[in-house]
Amino acid sequence: ALEEGDDVLREVLRDYHASEIAILFEKLPSEAHERIINILPTDIASEVISEMHEESHPGELLINLDPEKRSEIVSELEYDDATDIIAQLDEEEQENILESMDEEDASSIRALLSYAEHTAGGLMNSSLIKVNISQDKKGALDDIIRQSEEMEEFYTIYVVNGDDVLQGVVSIKDIIKAHADVKVQDLLKPDPVYVKADVDQEEVARLISQYNLTTIPVVDDEMKLLGRITVDDIIDVMEEESTEDILKISGVSEDEELSGSWQDAVKSRLPWLVINLGTAYLAASVIRHFDSTVKQLPLLAAYMTIIAGMGGNSATQALAVTVRRISLSDLTDRQAYSTVFKEFLVGLINGSVNGLVVLCVALFYDANPMLGLVLFLAMTGNLMIAGITGATIPLVLKRVGIDPAVASSIIITTFTDCAGFLLPLWLASKFLL
Amino acid sequence: ALEEGDDVLREVLRDYHASEIAILFEKLPSEAHERIINILPTDIASEVISEMHEESHPGELLINLDPEKRSEIVSELEYDDATDIIAQLDEEEQENILESMDEEDASSIRALLSYAEHTAGGLMNSSLIKVNISQDKKGALDDIIRQSEEMEEFYTIYVVNGDDVLQGVVSIKDIIKAHADVKVQDLLKPDPVYVKADVDQEEVARLISQYNLTTIPVVDDEMKLLGRITVDDIIDVMEEESTEDILKISGVSEDEELSGSWQDAVKSRLPWLVINLGTAYLAASVIRHFDSTVKQLPLLAAYMTIIAGMGGNSATQALAVTVRRISLSDLTDRQAYSTVFKEFLVGLINGSVNGLVVLCVALFYDANPMLGLVLFLAMTGNLMIAGITGATIPLVLKRVGIDPAVASSIIITTFTDCAGFLLPLWLASKFLL
């Protein structure tokens, strides 16, 4: 019966693209992954595994397969994909897999494993198309066809000299159109954009995006060509980096897996909440300092939460705009100053508009004009502080080399909470009691 | 003297890539843009303009140029880039530019202008490489070379029939390797991934990312080939969408320009703050309901802000993880339920840990064990509510077809504020007074 079920499954899966099966995996328990991989043809199985999201743990799936099936699948993988998957395993498991592979493949993957995960070296694929600068048309074309045999997509053709030093690129169109006696040298487009292997992946994404590249070559310190990074890998990097930005700004550790377990989530978020608890006591100490004020006018307790809360939200707005702006481009000093000034102005205006609303409520509902004035001033003041801190703190963090997204709302709202409690209570103690 | 200054400037700019000049523009006043464009050679000038960020307003720059220079620059632009820039201008200005162009270019751009900005049609470029399915090797190769003449990058070759209906793709490698009598038909790779012109750009990005494509064809309802979208345009879309997510989740309108004026920022953020003010009054009304409780035990005013604040931050954490997860993939019902359950559990645990800390403080600092118990229960309860709402609200919004990121922290924190005030005050009024 199981056999029969497998036949049906095989038939159904025939109509799916490998990446669709990989997405299907996210919705299935891991036992099902193994069963499906085992009935798929090797080339499709290896494509599925390379398309699996890191959070679905393709490495563990691989380890659980029958060793022979596993070797077949791994040798079908592109080097960079194989490296990413193997890198997730512990050392013993890595050795297990590498030893079962043929020597050339294993040594290519070992070389890639030596680069840090989030660098150009960690992202690159060592299989690429390159031709020697001294080749003629026929030789170059033969080389290109031979090298492209194993590649799905047709990317840039790199030109190197005898020492494998990157000289530039050449276009397939120019080679095809060229006369037989033309050399690669004559068709060369020099000065390509390149990266060193230890460059951070975020910088690689920035270069690919800025120069609209489909692929970027990776070189060592002597400019020898090590590999290339293609734009589809960069799309994954960009998704990762955006996820990190959104998580960090919301006070979640950047490495929490979105579909991770509750244990991981607690580990990732509890430290931030404990820090927040400390800062909340700081803000609350402001209130305790004005115990007698609150006792005399308990409705201040209600109003101060409004002012603190509005400050927190304004600060989050300013923070989000500033952090995102910094992460997309560097700011000059003049731009940094004008950003802070803009946020100050926005805080002033939004503060006075909302302050007027609060003033009117105090006037007509509480029939207390002086209270209204106190609240108006407190609201305006707190939203100005919100704007200034929301813009300044990420800018300063960036200057001193700390990721500006760490200035999460948790940090920023400490300021607006303290000021949001202090301003109305202090003003009230001065003018109302 | 001005002439001489221009010569120096021209010399300096010679070493810059067009995209570098475009980035430089972001740091220079707009008068300088015009001067620089005027001294650059037309091909570089048009590349700079196509690389300019929308926020630097390339359209306005174009309008201010001398009409002849402008025509030259526009006719050098790729159709999709020209369309994006012209679309930013008002109708009269659009006509001005289109009428000065040659008829073929103008009609191609007019066609592209008819598609909505954030759809596949609005993104696509109508210039592409296509061959007829009945061509032989020689004819196909000639066609490809001719069409690729005006393109910088060498992308996918599409195969169409006599009615321009998309049949599939063919690889340049296979054509080069083929015998002279082989037809395109024999080399065809059928069933390419494609999009209709009215598909949203976010879906296009998802397809390109899922299938690791460098380019995707755009077709009409009869499957006729209209154009193609390249991955570099998708990178811009992804940056845009991530920016929107980060802004919306922080209570900023999605269309606020990151480097926009303070007027725009006020317009984009004030409505959210006014909504927040309304919800803040709702939460504050809870406090006013317990006026006498606060009067009898003013330190509750301090503690309730801690509990509400911690709830707000926990909810923001749950929200960020859930929104980001939804935006990267669709969840099955089972996954949705287990997400809510996970967040409930995380809230329960983080709530009791932080609750214990607050309990200890109340025990040793305030020497009030009953207060400690009340605060422990309130903290645990509020962080559970935070987890449940932070996960449920975006999931429900997604199901009913509303962008889940609209469940910004402003909306979510209303729940945690209300519960954060209600729980300690109500429990205190029951057990403490």
Q: Rounded to a whole number, what is the distance in Å from the CA of B229 to chain A's nearest CA? A: 13
Give the single-character DSSP code of B144.
H
Token pair, residue B151, equals: 């393109």
Q: What pLDDT is stored for residue A57 in this prediction?
A: 85
Does the pLDDT value for residue A16 go beyond 60?
yes
Provide the CATH number for the domain around residue A364.
Answer: 1.10.357.20
pLDDT band at A163 (very low <50, low <70, confident <90, very high): very high
Q: Note whether A266 contacts B316, CB cutoff 8 Å.
A: no
**Which is higher by pLDDT, B175 or B390?**
B390
Closest partner CB to B262 (pick from A261, A276, A345):
A345
Q: What pLDDT is stored for residue A185 in this prediction?
A: 93
Average pLDDT, chain A: 89
Q: What pLDDT is stored for residue B72 in this prediction?
A: 86
Query: Which residue of chain A has the CA closest to B235?
Result: A209
Mention every residue, 6+ apart, whose C-beta is less than 8 A from residue B231. Answer: A214, A231, A232, A235, B208, B213, B214, B215
Q: What pLDDT is stored for residue A154 in this prediction?
A: 63
Query: Which residue of chain A has the CA closest to B138?
Result: A176
Closest partner CB to A148 (pick from B173, B329, B361):
B173
Domain count, chain A: 3
pLDDT in tens, A284-324: 999 999 989 988 888 899 999 999 999 999 999 999 999 98
pLDDT band at A198 (very low <50, low <70, confident <90, very high): very high
Mean pLDDT along residues B21-40: 85
Amino acid present at A264: D
Token pair, residue B418, equals: 């209300």
Does the pLDDT value for residue A5 go beyond 80?
no
Residues B417, B305: one domain?
Answer: yes
pLDDT band at B395 (very low <50, low <70, confident <90, very high): very high
Closest partner CB to B350 (pick from A193, A266, A349):
A266
Question: Is residue A101, in this structure, part of any structural domain at all?
Answer: yes
> How many CB atoms are located within 10 Å of the residue B417 CB?
30
Identify all chain A residues contacting B313, using CB atoms and an 8 Å cutoff.
251, 272-273, 276, 409-410, 413
Amino acid present at A418: C
Mention every residue, 6+ apart, whose C-beta is less than 8 A from residue A413. Answer: A279, A311, A312, A315, A316, B309, B313
**Which is higher by pLDDT, B410 or B190?**
B190
Does the pLDDT value for residue A201 go beyond 50?
yes
Mean pLDDT along residues B178-192: 90
Identify all chain A residues contacting B232, using CB atoms and an 8 Å cutoff.
209, 212-214, 231
Question: Is residue A374, in this structure, part of any structural domain at all?
Answer: yes
Domain span at B292? 262-431
Residues A159, A47: one domain?
Answer: no
Q: Rounded to a whole number, what is the distance in Å from the CA of A95 to chain B's nearest CA? A: 30
Residues B93, B133: one domain?
Answer: no
Whole-angstrom distance, CA of residue B25 vs CA of residue A182: 40
Q: What pLDDT is stored for residue A3 in this prediction?
A: 55
Closest partner CB to B154 (pick from A171, A236, A421):
A171
Q: What pLDDT is stored for residue B346 in this prediction?
A: 96
pLDDT in tens, A94-107: 888 888 888 888 88
pLDDT band at B153 (very low <50, low <70, confident <90, very high): low
Question: Is residue A291, in this structure, part of any structural domain at all?
Answer: yes
Question: Is residue A362, in this structure, part of any structural domain at all?
Answer: yes
Q: Note whether B295 contacts A298, CB cutoff 8 Å.
A: yes
Least confident of A13-17, A311-315, B322-326, B422-426: A13-17
Provide the CATH number for the domain around residue B55.
Answer: 1.25.60.10
Residue B195, helix vs strand vs coil: strand
pLDDT band at B1 (very low <50, low <70, confident <90, very high): very low
Question: Is residue B243, in this structure, part of any structural domain at all?
Answer: no
Does the pLDDT value for residue B3 go beyond 60?
no
Residue B83, helix vs strand vs coil: helix
Mutate to test the interface with B, among A193, A306, A337, A341 (most CBs of B within 10 A): A306
Of A80, A114, A148, the residue at which a domain comes to its end is: A114
**Which is higher by pLDDT, A131 or B66?**
A131
Q: Note whether A251 contacts B313, CB cutoff 8 Å.
A: yes
Most confident of A273-277, A385-389, B148-152, B325-329: A385-389
pLDDT in tens, B290-318: 989 988 888 899 999 999 999 999 999 99
Report the C-alpha dihedral over residues A75, A79, A81, A85, rounded to 10 degrees.
Answer: 70
Q: Note whether A231 contacts B236, CB cutoff 8 Å.
A: no
pLDDT in tens, A24-77: 888 888 888 888 888 888 888 888 988 888 878 888 888 888 888 888 888 888
Residues A417, A283: one domain?
Answer: yes
Q: Note whether B17 contacts A211, CB cutoff 8 Å.
A: yes
Residues A55, A163: one domain?
Answer: no
Whole-angstrom distance, CA of residue B291 vs CA of residue B293: 6
**Which is higher by pLDDT, A4 or A51?**
A51
Q: What pLDDT is stored for residue B119 in this prediction?
A: 92
Average pLDDT, chain B: 89
Q: Sheet harboring A195-196: ordered strands across?
A: A195-196, A215-219, A225-230
Mutate to test the interface with A, among B78, B141, B262, B281 (most CBs of A within 10 A): B262
Residues A307, A427: one domain?
Answer: yes
Question: Is residue A144, in this structure, part of any structural domain at all?
Answer: yes
Residues B135, B214: one domain?
Answer: yes
Does the pLDDT value for residue B42 go beyond 60?
yes
Question: Is residue B121, in this structure, part of any structural domain at all?
Answer: no
Of B91, B114, B137, the residue at which a domain comes to its end is: B114
Closest partner CB to B291 (pick from A20, A298, A413):
A298
Of B182, B214, B230, the residue at which a domain comes to its end is: B230
Does the pLDDT value for residue B131 go beyond 80?
yes
Residues B351, B409: one domain?
Answer: yes
Q: What pLDDT is stored for residue A239 in this prediction?
A: 86
Query: Which residue of chain B has the CA closest to A241?
Result: B242
Provide the CATH number for the domain around residue A135.
Answer: 3.10.580.10
Residues A90, A220: one domain?
Answer: no
Q: What pLDDT is stored for residue A1 in this prediction?
A: 42
pLDDT in tens, B325-337: 988 888 889 899 9
pLDDT band at B214 (very low <50, low <70, confident <90, very high): confident
> How far does Cα B324 stand from its chain's mean position?
12
Query: Which residue of chain A has the CA closest to B176?
Result: A145
Does the pLDDT value for residue A155 go beyond 80?
no
Residue B179, helix vs strand vs coil: coil
Q: Note whether A242 contacts B247, CB cutoff 8 Å.
A: no
Mean pLDDT along residues B26-50: 86
Residues B287, B369: one domain?
Answer: yes
Question: Is residue B257, in this structure, part of any structural domain at all?
Answer: no
Does the pLDDT value for residue A382 go beyond 90?
yes
End-to-end CA separation in angstroms for chain A: 85
Identify all chain A residues contacting B55, using CB atoms and an 8 Å cutoff.
none
> How far does Cα B174 stand from its chain's mean position?
38
End-to-end CA separation in angstroms for chain B: 85
Does the pLDDT value for residue A20 go beyond 90?
no
pLDDT in tens, A221-263: 999 999 999 888 888 888 888 888 889 888 898 888 888 889 9
Q: What pLDDT is stored for residue A26 in this prediction?
A: 80
Q: Rounded to a whole number, what is the distance in Å from the CA of A116 to chain B's nearest CA? A: 23
Report the C-alpha dihedral over residues B111, B115, B118, B121, rounded to 10 degrees.
Answer: -60
Could you tell me which of A114, A411, A397, A117 has the C-alpha nearest to residue A251? Answer: A411
Residues B199, B276: one domain?
Answer: no
Q: Note whether A324 contacts B246, CB cutoff 8 Å.
A: yes
Residues A208, A318: one domain?
Answer: no
Q: What pLDDT is stored for residue A153 in this prediction?
A: 64
Mean pLDDT along residues A104-117: 87
Distances (CA, A) of A59 to A54, A81, A119: 9, 11, 20
Name residue, tokens 């950003």. A339
